[in-house]
Structure 1
């Protein structure tokens, strides 16, 4: 949701920030409509409301960034290795979430729920993402919105309004569920149950020691399985890659332009008035009374620095006579700042002032007047800022031109580059270039940016682009970069030569042979266990390794998650007996789990039960939420675009 984007913008590295671009779609009238391929880019319609492809791409990128930060950069490579269709499934899952959000938005609109602008404004001003030193800061607000990809505060405000409407709509569902005492106690029993198990690991290496593979077996296996040993397919393509840095040379300006920028942003070049003070801090229930006593001594002529050393409970300043560093009014506690800036001249002392830290007596030491840099002094910085700002606008203009022209003229990128370079008739440029990349293999590693991006490689090897021979759509690469590709030539996958894969085939044949032997051996182990026989003899032979018994609970996070899951799926055995099961790990290792004992001993724990009560209520609320969304989906007309490869195996809902 948009709040996830916001927090990405507020805390994540700028290179990972997503940027939403609205691509204007249009139809070309007359003969042109017969010349341009029909490219329906929208993946789905919900009651005739389109969910655009670019919004889906943004959400996919956001979710990928979150998962990569949580599980590491290799997460998606590992998933793709396990399932070549993982990327399509991941994208389809994100789309389903967006459909759920849209049907809920439409349901809320029909119910007439509206959030007043005042509530939205108050919410924005209370959000920590937009605060500096505990206070709302307009510059921070705009900075975070820009990093998160919101094109304007109005766009963000509308998104926040929608989110608040959903919270209001769902509040009765969230607040209406509760947990029964029996449910809490049953869940507590499950969570605190201790299970003792023994893990038996099968040494696979023992089953490959005597496996021999002849050259004839290798040749026969190769002929039967050629398609398993393929040379990666390759693509040659042309492309336009552009960043906002590339177009800085296309920014032209006069001194008047710079002066206008300087005047509009004068606050950047102004250092506000500061005040240097000393204070005496007093804390405790009687702080105000003590402060009045100290103030009386000051009024009688006592030395402020001496009293600060004697009475102040701010150890960092007391020994220095209570002196604090100079500060501007917005960079200090509100009450302290107000009292400090109310003092007229150096030497003035305030009455006792209450703050979150205690009670203060403040003495004004120095007034540091506000200062401003002249336009001449600031010119270099003005140029830098102006060029940076304008280059973003030039970049957006050129990106839109490339997007439009490459769509209207799908057979080549040349005209798109030409028109983008001619966008400023007074200053034509050669910034936008069509480049040709030599053949690149689909399994290539360590590619330079932008070809290291999965979204770019997906387009380069997109069979639809290859078959139609058209330009790709604009591929967004964050806020300040994009790429468009056109496939020039394609070399399909071809079988590798037998000599190049002999060792690989030998290993595959050995693995298949050992797997069959392992299966047979493990079945024998299970038969022995079912008869109550010991496995010590097998352990002594080196065929298996028996770990020491281990006791775990469902809350134990020091055990492999898959092993823990399997342990707790084993059924309880009758007293004096054991239960066991055979499992295969993700890496192919085979192991047997023996459940030795189960101990249920739930102790009273009020804080735990309060937590479980809350969690059960949340789970019930989520279930209600799913029912609500399923009902809304059932009443909606959801039309999927089946030309999208990530939707070709999805089943329509609500049609």
Structure 2
């Protein structure tokens, strides 16, 4: 089950999010934010308040980073998502800090100073780093305490994860799941192909309607008048003074600071964290032998291709590309960043992955992107920001005039036909074509009363003001109105029954020894033969969870065995496995890397579950609904 869960998980593990969040704490928060007297906290975690001001500082930093990356394209949906992420991270951060204090974890002053030095190394100079603290109004002692807090939580996370190991059997199973290939064939029986065989009478249709009446209920629908103001309409008229662009650059200088990056090639001889002393000694002998060859003048790239057990980089002469200090494990980064000139080779490095030799091939110095490099990008951001504000201002003005009766949707539409519109009747889960998919638009529309003017709604296309013209309540139609839809539903259900019966018949004939290809030909069914593929292989026209069901069933079958009929939206699948390939001779070579990958994934899952249990036990008071609209 562990491997199945890891394979199915599509989202990043929470521990990675938390560590990334913790790493940014010193510069995101800066000084402590005190709760103002009498102010309700945004959230309480076991009695400890999280203030709105604390959230605002974190959210602003996160929002600005995303705004820069997306060049100002921040939809309301994305803004809500970022808000949720920051709230979740603040909650997790507080829980971790409380647990770290319970565990009496302490970090030494030397560790704190060392971490601060590493952070400073990502800046062009010590002075640039101190200017950043000053700009963010973070006193150095507060920054130091934040670093200590971060290190304490990291130690807690590491202790929890270090308590997890993997067995030899788990590694074998994981390797098998990643490397096993099978050859298979299937017959597909599509339901719609049997609809032409279904004959239904008027009486059949009426009987079906009587027994399934509620299924044909018509949903509540509304018809709207609306005004939509798009920020893009204002962009051409926005002029940003050069001084404003320059001020933005100076105020956000840290966003344009690029830390020193180095390019290196490496040779890796693996051993697992659980390796015996004998296994580690054998790996040491191998890397020392390679080191001797280097000292005798053998080309590093040649040795990397021949000996490195990092297959991905070995194919590229060991090249790892450019990386910053913090992108690699500490022991590796420390060795590479201590080299002075391209061409130099490190001594033997020990890391959680094994033993390395690394050759420095290039250095990209730390630098700040110049104003000239980024001024155009900044101007685009500021233009979009100003245009958005103008659009919001115009929409708010129209809203006020509508509420005060100084204009109507129709009158405004005569002056600005491109902004005003009237919707057809639509249900809450349907889309107004001119607006696009906008859940908040729909939810607001269905909450309105007759002649009520909505609040301002932000969608991905602009700001909207709505007015309800008419609402049709949900109702059950009479048979005459629903007759055609009912008839189609009845035909589809009976066709499904016929397809299922056909699938069972074909299965029984296949089990008697008839080949899939001949059965498909005899019954005029679709047949497909799948050449050897692994669990990640593409299956034609089967996606998502349906593909997982297909893969799970297929890989569970022995060679020559036919599976139970698999019902998917595309039809009924009859699957047989004709061959299986499992290159066990490769297992020994790849075992170390697979052990490391499995251990990392298993630790991630364990930490996520641990944090979930802590959260379940915690007393959490969430007041965020008082601060944000839904």
**TM-score of the pair, normalised by structure 1:** 0.47
